Every structure is written in C-alpha cells, then in structure tokens.
Amino acid sequence: MTQKTCYYCGAAASSVEHVPPKAIFPESKDAAPLVDLRKNLVTVPSCTLHNESVSKDDEYVAGVLWSTHGNNEAGQVQIKKLQRMASNGRGLVKLLAQNYQRDPNSVLGTLRVDVSRFISVFEKVIRGVYFHSTKTALPSHASYNIVFPTLKSDDPDLQPVWATLLSSMAQIPEDKWKLVDGFENPLAFTVEQVIDIEPPIYYFAIYDSFEAIAIPRSFTLKP
C-alpha cells in the first residue's frame, strides 16, 4: 500500500487537513434551514505539524470572518457560534472585542486584524487547493503575495502594495478565470484560478463578502 504524503511538505501523512479550515463551514445546528454546508468537505493528507501548527490561527481567521459586515446567510449564522464562545468565556471573542474600533462617521465600526495570521492560514489553503487539484505538493520554493482587499491593515506600507497588485490583476480577462472543481459549498467558499499559469493565481471568496487573491512571486506583473 502506497504511503500517503503531506500536502504541504511531502513527509509521511498521519492525518487529514480540511481545505479551507472546517470552521469556515457552519455546523448543522446553526445552519438550518440552509442546506448542509459541511457535506463533501475537501480534505488532503497531512503530517501532524501541518495539521496542528496553526490551529489557533484557523480559529482566529474564522472568528474575524464570522464578524464581517455584509456576509451572506452562511456567514450570518456563524454569529450563533460566536455567541456560544462568548458565553463560555472563550479568549477569541475577547480578542476580537479588544480590537474593535468605533467609527464616529458610521454605525459600523472597524475590526483591526492581524494580517500575518491570515497569511499563515491562506498559505496552507493555497497548498491544500493545489494538492487537491494536482495530487502533488506545491514545490517548496513556490511563494506567494497574498492580497486581502476587504481587510484593513495597520501597516501603512501594505495597502499601496495591495493596490498595485490588484491593479495588475484587473488586467487579466474574465474568460481566463475558471472555478476549481471539488468545492461544493459555494455559499461558504469558492476558489477560482487563472488558466495556464503555473504556479496558479488563485481568487478566494468566503461568505460572498471576504476576498483573497494569491499571486505567485515568480509571476511578472505589469505596472
């Protein structure tokens, strides 16, 4: 029997990793009357290190996404989970509350986020999607710029970089994008990639409100 290998590093696999993190998808007790949003979730073989090393980051990113204004119904029902966490005294809810800033010009406030934790999670998602599509690990030397258009960063140097990358992505014709097969719960998560680019350029959407774009550093972008 062939030994399965980790989607991330190629070491012997000892478990599986959900792509994206399972917490993105509402539990059935919260999702009703929606369809089952945890059916046929994508998993990839994983070593222990790459299954457990960023579990706290997975929870943090999910918590921020659950708190995002403009979520569709799949994201809105996740508020129930946040409420349970709050009643149980979970530290994540306290952390989110501490980083919430009121906006005097709007009824909506702003949630300051740790972008590095989003990058950590989406680096795993990128490699998981790649493995799911190709059945091989993304080469270890492949690296990405990851842009989060809907996030607000405290880093003054980051937003201009994101703006430049997004401007370059806008030059790619719509007919060059295709949905990645196998992700069957589009209310919660979809991923597209650009045809004939290797390593792939990916576009992720969660709850119809959160976006992430992953661009290989090796890809030459037009100014």
Residue 44 tokens, joined:
């990839």
- Residue 68 to residue 97: CA distance in whole angstroms: 13
d(CA 61, CA 67): 10
Would you state the pLDDT for residue 220? 72
Query: For the segment 119-142, what is each residue's pLDDT rounded down to a tens digit?
Result: 999 999 999 999 999 999 999 999
Say if pTM beats, i.e. exceeds, 0.85. yes
Q: What is the mean pLDDT of the chain?
A: 87
Q: Cα–Cα distance between 11 and 152 in angstroms, integer? A: 36
Q: Give the start-to-end residue ranges of the domains of the chain.
A: 15-216
Which residue is associated with the tokens 């990851």?
146
E strand or H helix at 47, and its extent?
none
Q: What is the per-residue pLDDT for 102?
A: 64
